[in-house]
Structure 1
């Protein structure tokens, strides 16, 4: 599975039409899934990226409307490309003020959306039964009021699939959500819907605990942080990458949050030798994400096309490690070989020279 993250922070208005105009190219290049930003209307309306969700069933946003979204999905489906919805399930913003008896004060917890109304009963009461309170907007309480929010969020996601046409889900900010809800939500879709969650944590053990509990795939943040070190440090031991768990993980090297500001000024961003990281993740068995800016903005497009073709041509062969040490990662799939040299010095293999801080692809006869 090769996913194109089909947006960046503060991307253009009418974004559905923008992507629709290049749907053919996306398919030809080898992407089988496009991950779209949250489609529902946010508190900031036309200035919203959708993570400040206010009206679940209102698809009028800076990106377009229900009609242009369905047109985009139909265009991608025509090209045999699936579409991933970004679901914000943990919080809401922009409600009207109402008296909240739980806190004996007014709170912004009244959301009058006709198809999915909410009030103070449906948000965090700080009752002590969970530890999922977050500071971004109103934290959803899934199990109060006869599990109203749990059931209606599931119905909303089902509507996005059945009515709008989404194929898969990206689950936002699982770190600040109840684990039991995440599992219950996933149980309703796991038979026919690919899901990947954002649990932003660098500790592999914590991610494995969540995966074991919920059976939800997660973005591989521990691998991301290690690859960042490799790309920016020639003394990083490459062999340590193989010690990070890959089970139920989706590999990536950037996203809209990591590069919310200009790349070179963001402490989390990989700003040098990023192609080394893409060479590694695109040769793995795991699903992989290519970030929009890496493909369409920076000078990586040609190298990414080459690596995508390598992935497509070799994916039906098992991955074998030929050489693995602090400097060299040499793996093969059938006739296709990838050598990553993270050291400053050149590396020589069977008449082939791999320059320092570079990689080579070769096909054995």
Structure 2
């Protein structure tokens, strides 16, 4: 066990001392001891542009890589019955007021299981809940009219909306004789109700172009993106999937599902021809793999390296792991960070993890159930405000051991940045740290600490953090 630094159940006679902590009470020996333990690690070398782009007066934030906060506006097996678009619609204003800049929706088109499908088994990319197909008119989430109403509401609140794009595989086609397999396969999509993007066995592997690409999924027919018909209907045609979703349905960006199943060139071609923000689901903890894919795809990527490091750090009591490499450290403008999503929910100390991603670089995502059901919404709203108003500039890691982690955002263009202190131990802790502020009073913007310390002439100051908690310090203004 690490030696306990301070216990804040001190007798009342000492309370006033701690809550009036100032730089004038520092001793040379304490500062020397602190200096001997601190090794500042600068984890980014980009130009220091801000990673939040809003103002505290409007509550509206630009949604782009490294700016704003994204909400994953669904979870696995949301209630069926066609009311989910209306459910989300009713929350948009509150989310906007809280500082959410964008929402990510589940796949919006009709899939094989009709009204019961979560959309990841797509049949007709142009049936948004307006054709009687696969056993229903509406999708699990609602009608096309309700979807359009939701998108309109999102834009009215100066937010962006991202579509979940499933283009690795299809499902729900009719049986046909397949000359490439010598059997019948479920690859005839010429009868889709919308009449758009007709497909046959020639559009799926194996076919005249080869036996397979990077990967198949679940035994579903595997789209062959090298086929001209597939490219035309996905991203080239003005009435194809990408351009229709962007120009007619008014989506602002894309979350690409299971990008391990096809080459990065597919997303690159989509982005070059369609445009909009994009992020790929590349389920891999290897930073090199994530970074290479993001560069080749010209896309953001979910930071699974960060996710797994946070899980090991917060649940495994080893915050020093946060020193390790992550996608947001390689390229924060292409890193989308997250604590949980519809597929995986392993981190137990979620608020500590959110305090990490909402104060660090990258484009943080909040999971619907964490925000609306499972965690303290007020604390998340506070962290969103901190992200949008204080979390600017490059990052310097100031201290990390098993229980404690301290990092500094160095500010940008007049914004002072912040210092975040995360404590995974069971007692209050204190640390001397070096800020970028000289002779300046600071405070904890989470409200967990009542200290108002003043930094010294050499920018050093003592800060504190509650057990299993976090504090975020910046200039008191």
Check whether TM > 0.5. Answer: yes
Aligned to 2:468: 357
Distance change (3 Å), C-alpha of 1:320 and 1:236: closer
Matches within 5 A, 1:297-308: 297-308=373-384
How far apart, CA to CA, are the structure 2 residues paired with 1:159 and 1:229? 42
- With normalisation by structure 2, the TM-score equals 0.70
Q: Deviations over 1:50-99 (max 9, x none)?
A: 00101110011111121111111111111111111110011001111110
Q: Is the 8 A contact 2:302 2:336 kept in 1?
A: yes
Distance 2:178 2:327 in 1: 45
Match status 1:38 vs 2:107:
yes
1:309 aligns to what SS in structure 2?
helix
Deviations 1:25-59 (A, max 9, x none): 11101111011110000100000000010111001
Is the contact made by 1:238 and 1:329 (CA closer than 8 Å) also made in structure 2?
no
* Structure 1 position 200 matched with structure 2 position 283: yes
Aligned equivalents of 2:104 and 2:248: distance in 1?
18
Asked whether the 8 Å contact 2:71–2:365 carries over to 1, the reply is yes
1:249 to 321, 335, 340: 335
Contact between 1:16 and 1:64, CA under 8 Å: does it hold in 2? yes
Query: For 1:354 and 1:105, how far apart are their aligned partners in 2?
Result: 66
| Pairing 1:279–2:364 present | no
Change (3 A) 1:309 1:320: same
Pair 1:84 & 2:162 matched: yes
Contact 2:72 2:366 survives alignment (8 Å): yes
Computing the radius of gyration over CA atoms, which structure comes out larger, 1 or 2? Answer: 2
User: Which residue of structure 1 lines up, in the alignment, with residue 371 of structure 2?
Assistant: 295
TM-score by length of 1: 0.90
Q: Which residue of 1 aligns with 2:203?
A: 122
The answer to whether the 8 A contact 2:242-2:274 is kept is: no
Q: Deviations over 1:142-172 (max 9, x none)?
A: 223xx11112011211101111111111111
Q: 1:51 aligns to what?
A: 120
**CA contact 1:234–1:357 (8 Å) conserved in 2:** no
> Is this contact kept in 2: 1:204–1:244, CA < 8 A?
yes
Give the structure 2 partner of residue 346 of structure 1. Answer: 428
User: Which residue in 1 is equivalent to 2:445?
Assistant: none
Which of these residues, 48, 64, 74, is aligned with residue 7 of structure 1?
74
Residue 187 of structure 2: aligned partner: 109
What are the within-5 Å matches in structure 2 for residues 161-240 of structure 1? 161-190=246-275, 193-240=276-323
What is the Cα deviation at residue 363 of structure 1? 3.2
Q: CA deviation at 1:179?
A: 2.6
Contact conserved, 2:204 with 2:224, CA < 8 A, in 1?
yes
**Displacement after TM superposition at 1:5 (Å):** 0.4
CA contact (8 A) 2:246 2:274 kept: no
Distance in structure 1 (CA, Å) of the matches to 2:384 and 2:254: 23
Gaps of 5+ in 1: 260-268
TM-superposed deviation, 1:354: 1.2
Whole-Å Cα distance in 2 between the matches of residues 335 and 89 of structure 1? 40
**Structure 1 pair 101–169 and aligned structure 2 pair: CA distance change class (3 A):** same
In the TM superposition, what is the alpha-carbon distance from 1:335 to its structure 2 partner? 5.8
**Partner residue, 1:153:** 234
Report if aligned partners of 1:343, 1:357 keep a CA contact under 8 Å in 2. yes
Find the aligned partners of 2:282 and 2:462 in 1 and give their Cα distance.
44
Quote the offset at 1:345 in angstroms: 4.8
SS in 2 for 1:91: coil
| Range that drifts further, 123-132 or 180-189 | 123-132
Residue in 2 aligned with 1:263?
none
Partner of 2:396: 321
Q: Report deviation, 1:231.
A: 1.9
Asked if the contact 2:336/2:364 (under 8 Å) is kept, the reply is yes
Secondary structure of the corresponding residue to residue 306 of structure 2: helix
Number of aligned pairs? Answer: 349
Give, in angstroms, the shift of residue 217 of structure 1: 0.8
> Is the contact between residue 205 and residue 211 of structure 2 (CA under 8 Å) also seen in structure 1?
no
